[in-house]
Amino acid sequence: MNTSAPSALIGASALRVDGARLWQSLMDLAAIGATPKGGVCRLALTALDGQGRDLFVRWAREAGCSIRIDAIGNIFARRSGRDDRLPAIMTGSHIDTQPTGGKFDGNYGVLAGLEVVRSLNDAGVQTEAPIEVVVWTNEEGSRFVPVMMGSGVYVGAFTLEHALAQCDAQGISVGQALQDIHYAGPVVGTPDVGAYFEAHIEQGPVLETADCVIGVVQGALGQRWYDVVVQGMEAHAGPTPMALRRDALLAASELVLEVNRIALDRAPHARGTVGSLEVYPNSRNVIPGRVSMSVDLRAGDDAVLLDMDADLRRTCARMAQARGVTIDVQEVVYFPPQPFTPDLVEDIRSGAKVLGFSAMDVVSGAGHDAVYLARVAPTAMIFVPCADGISHNEIEDAKPEHLEAGCNVLLQAMLRSARVAP
Amino acid sequence: MNTSAPSALIGASALRVDGARLWQSLMDLAAIGATPKGGVCRLALTALDGQGRDLFVRWAREAGCSIRIDAIGNIFARRSGRDDRLPAIMTGSHIDTQPTGGKFDGNYGVLAGLEVVRSLNDAGVQTEAPIEVVVWTNEEGSRFVPVMMGSGVYVGAFTLEHALAQCDAQGISVGQALQDIHYAGPVVGTPDVGAYFEAHIEQGPVLETADCVIGVVQGALGQRWYDVVVQGMEAHAGPTPMALRRDALLAASELVLEVNRIALDRAPHARGTVGSLEVYPNSRNVIPGRVSMSVDLRAGDDAVLLDMDADLRRTCARMAQARGVTIDVQEVVYFPPQPFTPDLVEDIRSGAKVLGFSAMDVVSGAGHDAVYLARVAPTAMIFVPCADGISHNEIEDAKPEHLEAGCNVLLQAMLRSARVAP
């Protein structure tokens, strides 16, 4: 038995990460693809993404980890446990960004995991189970769809072949891009995960508005996305009396308000958004003949989401009749709600309490790699505030003390799952 | 005294145009710039417009008219009266078209005037006052703005120099384009018009819906056009709770409904239209941060139009506060309402009655050259139905018997103003 084990055991709950080191790593990684406005543009599987990956791999090796790359380019940095036959206790996120992305989205989850490893090394703590820090390929979906590609392939949400065949706007495939940056591994392994944790900036305003440091994420909202086309009759704005119009934009505008109402009727967690809307012919003095629009409905409960779907379809049918237009509703995306694992969620909540951080239960309105991982492993997420709730934007910002706090909560939760070796 | 005068005098009210000849002329002119879908593309001052003008000038000369071209390219085809010092009794319209225009918009008014001249010739009728058939330059405004350019210069709504300096998308000026097709005349004359009549397809559905042949146009609606910008805050559709949103499209949609309400509150002649609306960033899962939209308000009475303007501004202020957005309202176009001349309007009404055509009072929701002419001369317009109220479209259509009926009403009204020479 290692003679340092007793002191490490005693010190485990007192163990703290190095917040300054975490911050410096975030800034160093953000230098790769840095934009003039202070953000980061490092699209998935570009040369810049390759440089970012190389830096992470070098840091992980310097921290004593072994590196494994799978066939979709996911990077697994492994710190051995006392019993390496145990399923790994895993954490991670992604380091690809939006075209006008920030320094923290995804990168924080990966580098918080690395900081956990470094802190365990500093304290000479050996865990019973191995720990793995993962970089998932192409979470953002800006260059290649579908989004959350690496974690999606890993959990079997879609096939490796499907993912490798996707092409960007220049016709370059995922398979080709992986080879170009030397991150095409041999196979995709069968998931064998003891627990998965992901730390992430909230990307919304709830924590900041509540002046709270730790978001204890209960799960992710289910999503139903639609393409809706409203077809009326285009006509001259001047000669056509109000009563004889079949104005597609008038009907579409009413639908925007109804989508909002559908969500408000199911407060507090339901959401309804029309993000995209295009008008044809979009001419100042022509009554619009056609509108194409998106509808995005989200809820924490699948029955509620289905009820919102029915409400949407009823509303469209009623409005089509009232306005003399046709409304075509096509569902294009469905993600069921994904609750996280109660025991692990409780570990996050109690960890924050022990460490003295304010905490509140929140839901994830957005998709994250953790949402896929929850299909194959016990999973939980930790949110920390970001400035003004802004993300996917070069002005994305977060406070060092909040990032450090989230990382300490992550460390304690992972230690509880991985267990300190006796 | 001409020995045929008494018989012509007796026959004037029994005089009828040749509907088949009018239709054939419409079809012959429509062959220049004909599109595969049955419409016409003959943009102002292009080579095709030049060919169309040449055809009209040849026809007019064959009908015994003298031709005068002014400095903005308006063509005046003059049939002498017994007393050529009298102000001319004028009719006309335009022969330029929209890019996907039809055979009748504008062309009907010009060729109906030509058919009046031809019919007077056939019957050997001499009028007391001279008659002029006018082709106004660039009514459509598709290639060069402002719209109604030729008539606008003629009545002094803007200067000749301003109009000549306007350039198309390729940088070719109106002045250059006029020279290229040899329609740059020496000067713009001082208007001296005894009366101005314009026959036109309705470009709306009112006559067809009422199963009525002749629209007795009371005047043109006034117009106020606006550019409106709604500024909210873009944010992620997932992580942002409904209560914390500043959704620019939600506010803009409410405004679309309010613009509709503002017009309905002032039925039957008021109109309110949002024809153009653009969303930023227009991404499916991003709450819109900004919307740019047009607002087009029309009314027959200037006080009503001003009241609509005040209602719009009040509504925007109220909605900006309620939705946490800013709404900027800039007026970009103002045309005052333009009533036509009661005596001439009555001539149209009684003429339709004498000829046995169903007739109804209508307003012109759109602009026409007649709206400018009404600033300097007694003016009236005659509308005839077009299929489904559709215009500015290659499928624009009208019935030969309706076009003939409108032309007969025009003939009688012009004879009443020009007076048959004793």
Q: Which helix (H) or strand (E) holds A227?
A: strand A222-231
Q: Taken in order B75, B80, B83, B89, is the CA torsion positive or negative?
A: negative
Say if the Cβ atoms of B250 and A257 lie within 8 Å: yes
Residue B238 has its nearest CB partner, among A254, A271, A276, at A271
Contacts of A140 (CB under 8 A, 6+ apart): A43, A44, A94, A96, A97, A98, A101, A106, A147
Task: Provide the 8-state DSSP code for B398.
Answer: -
CA distance B347 to B343: 6
Say if the Cβ atoms of B276 and A282 lie within 8 Å: yes
CA distance A294 to A277: 7
Q: Pick from A139, A203, A221, A253 the residue to mutate for testing the B interface (most B CBs within 10 Å).
A: A253
Whether A63 shows a pLDDT value over 50: the answer reads: yes
CA distance B212 to B296: 28
Q: Is the ipTM of this complex over 0.85?
A: yes
Residue A267 has its nearest CB partner, among B242, B254, B391, at B242
Say if the Cβ atoms of A240 and B279 lie within 8 Å: no
Lowest mean pLDDT among A220-229, A233-242, A288-297, B25-34: A233-242
Amino acid at B319: M
Say if the Cβ atoms of B209 and A244 lie within 8 Å: yes
Whether A1 shows a pLDDT value over 60: the answer reads: no
Q: Taking the CB of residue B187, how many other CB atoms lie within 10 A of it? A: 9
Q: What is the pLDDT of residue B391?
A: 87
CA distance A403 to A415: 18
Nearest CA among B153, B91, B109 for reference residue B378: B91
Whether A9 shows a pLDDT value over 90: the answer reads: no
Q: Which helix (H) or strand (E) holds B294?
A: strand B290-299
Angstroms from B276 CA to nearest CA on chain A: 4
Nearest CA among B142, B145, B143, B121 for reference residue B133: B121
Q: Would you list the DSSP string of A245-270?
A: -B-HHHHHHHHHHHHHHHHHTTTTT-
Whether B3 shows a pLDDT value over 70: the answer reads: no
Contacts of B346 (CB under 8 A, 6+ apart): none
Q: Name the one residue in this structure whose structure tokens are 């690809």.
A: A96
Asked if B300 and A241 count as a contact pair (C-beta separation under 8 A), the reply is: no
Q: What is the pLDDT of residue A3?
A: 38
Q: Indicate the pLDDT class of residue B254, thresholds 50, 70 and 90.
A: very high
Amino acid at A340: F
Say if the Cβ atoms of A241 and B268 lie within 8 Å: yes
Q: What is the pLDDT of residue B11?
A: 65
Whether A95 shows a pLDDT value over 60: the answer reads: yes
Q: Pick from B147, B201, B227, B236 the residue to mutate for testing the A interface (most A CBs within 10 Å).
A: B236
Q: In this predicted model, what pLDDT tens digit does every residue of A370-380 receive, in sequence order?
A: 999 999 999 99
Q: In this predicted model, what pLDDT tens digit does every residue of A176-193 receive, in sequence order?
A: 999 999 999 999 989 999
Amino acid at A40: V
Q: Indicate the pLDDT class of residue A392, thresholds 50, 70 and 90.
A: confident
Angstroms from A148 CA to nearest CA on chain B: 15
Residue A257 has its nearest CB partner, among B203, B205, B253, at B253
Q: Name the one residue in this structure whose structure tokens are 């508005």.
A: A209
Distances (CA, A) of B245 to A19, B213, B323: 32, 53, 9
Nearest CA among B274, B271, B276 for reference residue B297: B271
Angstroms from B55 CA to nearest CA on chain A: 30
Residue A276 has its nearest CB partner, among B238, B254, B282, at B282
| Residue B99 structure tokens | 């890019």
Nearest CA among A166, A325, A339 for reference residue A245: A325
| Residue A47 structure tokens | 């040369």
CB-count exposure of residue B182 (10 Å: 0-12, 13-18, 19+): exposed
Asked if B398 and B386 count as a contact pair (C-beta separation under 8 A), the reply is: yes
Angstroms from B266 CA to nearest CA on chain A: 11
CA distance A299 to B31: 60
Whether A292 shows a pLDDT value over 70: the answer reads: yes
Asked if B410 and B118 count as a contact pair (C-beta separation under 8 A), the reply is: no
Q: What is the pLDDT of residue A10?
A: 46
Measured distance between the N- and C-terminal CA atoms of chain B, rounded to whole angstroms: 8
Q: What is the pLDDT of residue A283?
A: 87
CA distance B368 to B202: 11
- 3-class SS of residue A159: coil
Preceding amide of B268 cis, omega within 30: yes
Q: In this predicted model, what pLDDT tens digit does every residue of B331-343 receive, in sequence order?
A: 999 999 999 999 9
Q: Indicate the pLDDT class of residue B325, thresholds 50, 70 and 90.
A: very high
Q: Indicate the pLDDT class of residue A422, thresholds 50, 70 and 90.
A: confident
> For A378-409, b where at least 16 C-beta lie within 10 A, e where not — what string?
bbbbbbbbbbebbbbbbebbbeeebbbbbbbb
Distances (CA, A) of B17 to A317, B193, B290: 51, 24, 56
Say if the Cβ atoms of B238 and A288 lie within 8 Å: no
Closest chain B residue to A265, measured at CA? B242
Using a CB-CB cut-off of 8 Å, the residues of chain A touching B286 are: 275, 392
Q: In this predicted model, what pLDDT tens digit does every residue of A204-220 receive, in sequence order?
A: 999 999 999 999 999 99
Contacts of B306 (CB under 8 A, 6+ apart): none
> For A24-51, b where at least 16 C-beta lie within 10 A, e where not — what string?
ebbeebbebbbbeeebbbbbbbbebbbb
Contacts of A176 (CB under 8 A, 6+ apart): none
Whether A2 shows a pLDDT value over 70: the answer reads: no
Backbone angles phi and psi of A319, in degrees to 5: -70, -35
Asked if A346 and A195 count as a contact pair (C-beta separation under 8 A), the reply is: no
Domains contained in chain A, CATH given = 5-220+337-418 (3.40.630.10), 222-333 (3.30.70.360)
Closest chain B residue to A392, measured at CA? B236
User: Whole-number mean pLDDT of chain A?
Assistant: 95
**B330 forms bridges with which residues in the sheet?**
B227
Asked if A102 and A39 count as a contact pair (C-beta separation under 8 A), the reply is: yes
CA distance A295 to A280: 18
Backbone angles phi and psi of B78, in degrees to 5: -110, 125
Backbone angles phi and psi of A380, in degrees to 5: -150, 160
Asked if B402 and B202 count as a contact pair (C-beta separation under 8 A), the reply is: no
CA distance B104 to B96: 11
| Residue B239 structure tokens | 């992580």
Angstroms from B37 CA to nearest CA on chain A: 18
Between A12 and B392, the more confident residue is B392
Q: Indicate the pLDDT class of residue B9, thresholds 50, 70 and 90.
A: very low
Q: Which helix (H) or strand (E) holds A238?
A: none
Using a CB-CB cut-off of 8 Å, the residues of chain A touching B202 are: 239
| Residue B387 structure tokens | 């299929």
Nearest CA among B256, B260, B252, B338 for reference residue A274: B252
Measured distance between the N- and C-terminal CA atoms of chain A, rounded to whole angstroms: 8
Q: What is the pLDDT of residue B338?
A: 97
Using a CB-CB cut-off of 8 Å, the residues of chain B touching A260 are: 242, 247, 250
B193-201 and B379-384 as β-strands: parallel, antiparallel, unpaired? parallel
CA distance B63 to A324: 49
Say if the Cβ atoms of B389 and A275 lie within 8 Å: no
CA distance B76 to A202: 72
Task: Describe the crossing of helices B248-264 and B302-323 by its angle, rounded to 10 degrees.
Answer: 150
Contacts of A318 (CB under 8 A, 6+ apart): none
Q: What is the pLDDT of residue B7?
A: 42
Q: What is the pLDDT of residue B13?
A: 83
Say if the Cβ atoms of B367 and A238 lie within 8 Å: yes
Q: What is the pLDDT of residue B364?
A: 96
Whether A150 shows a pLDDT value over 50: the answer reads: yes
Say if the Cβ atoms of B389 and A239 lie within 8 Å: yes
The stretches of A31-165 forming alpha helices (DSSP H) are 47-62, 107-123, 149-155, 160-165
Distances (CA, A) of A225 to A221, A330, A365, B219: 13, 9, 13, 49
Say if the Cβ atoms of A204 and B237 lie within 8 Å: no
Amino acid at A133: V
Q: Which helix (H) or strand (E) holds B259?
A: helix B248-264
> For A239-271, b where at least 16 C-beta lie within 10 A, e where not — what string?
bbbbebbbbbbbbbbbbbebbbebbeebeebbb
Q: Indicate the pLDDT class of residue A11, thresholds 50, 70 and 90.
A: low
Asked if A77 and A136 count as a contact pair (C-beta separation under 8 A), the reply is: no
Residue A275 has its nearest CB partner, among B243, B288, B365, at B288
Backbone angles phi and psi of A289, in degrees to 5: -95, -25
